[in-house]
Amino acid sequence: MFFCFSQVGVFPKFSGQEFEKLRSDYEFGHTTSAKFLPRGESSVTGPLVRLFKPFDELFVDSKDFDLEVLEKFVEESSIPTVTVFNNDPTYHPYSTYREVAEQYKGQGLIFLIGDVDSSQGAFQFFGLKEEQAPLLLVQTNDGQKYLKPTLGADDIAPWLKEYKEGKVSPYRKSEPIPETNNEPVKVVVADTLQELVFNSGKNGKS
């Protein structure tokens, strides 16, 4: 999924500290008159950078010309609050999900939503099962995964709060638990690791 963005710097003249810094660091359009902007020209006050986008609030402004601040501004503003992998979001708790996504904007979380049919690739990749849906899955930059299966709309905000507070354990894909496991050599899967190894005192530690 690709989006088209436009960045425009608005300055009283094509000179000055803000203009020179923006021109040296980014490829932007420049104008001295807000009337040439496609929308929101009446809200322009003083030098600023305006990013136009085809989603959410349609344009956002920054008056901070520090390079790191601008990079973060463009990066965060270029991502939709919620990316939908389904043309009809009525099958999802979409409004609640979006409200929660708004609360966590700028906190390093990217929100995507899709139905089971459009998410088959994700189900296979993460080792998920359709009976776990509706579900919420978080994957961090280091590959850790956190899963909340069979959740309702009212569960989204509380679960994400627990995740942000570090109270949610990572999700590990597990093979099915054997129906019988009475042999001297046990079959250990992810779902029985705690019980059969760590809680048994037979994990090799003295």
Give 7-19 pLDDT, tens digit per residue: 666 666 666 666 5
139 close to 145: Cβ distance less than 8 angstroms: yes
Q: Which residue has the higher pLDDT, 183 or 58?
A: 58
Q: Which residue has the higher pLDDT, 25 or 190?
A: 25
State residue 124's pLDDT score: 86
> Residue 136's closest CA among 120, 118, 104, 112?
112
Give 114-154 pLDDT, tens digit per residue: 888 888 888 888 888 889 888 899 988 888 889 999 988 89
Task: Give the start-to-end residue ranges of the domains of the chain.
Answer: 6-77, 83-164, 177-206
3 state SS of 2 = coil
Q: Between helices 17-25 and 67-77, what is the axis angle to 10°?
A: 60
- In the chain, DSSP assigns E strands to 6-10, 29-31, 48-52, 59-62, 83-85, 112-114, 136-139, 145-148
Give 31-41 pLDDT, tens digit per residue: 767 777 766 67
The pTM of the full predicted model, rounded to 2 decimals, is: 0.58
Give 90-113 pLDDT, tens digit per residue: 655 678 888 999 999 888 888 888
State residue 55's pLDDT score: 85
Q: Between helices 156-164 and 94-103, what is the axis angle to 10°?
A: 30
Give 35-81 pLDDT, tens digit per residue: 777 666 767 777 888 888 888 888 888 888 787 888 888 888 888 88
How would CATH label the architecture of 83-164? 3-Layer(aba) Sandwich (3.40)
Q: Do the domains 6-77 and 83-164 sit in the same CATH topology, yes or no?
A: yes
**What's the CATH number for 6-77?**
3.40.30.10
Average pLDDT over residues 158-187: 72
Average pLDDT over residues 140-169: 90
pLDDT grade for 190, boundaries at 50, 70 and 90 = very low
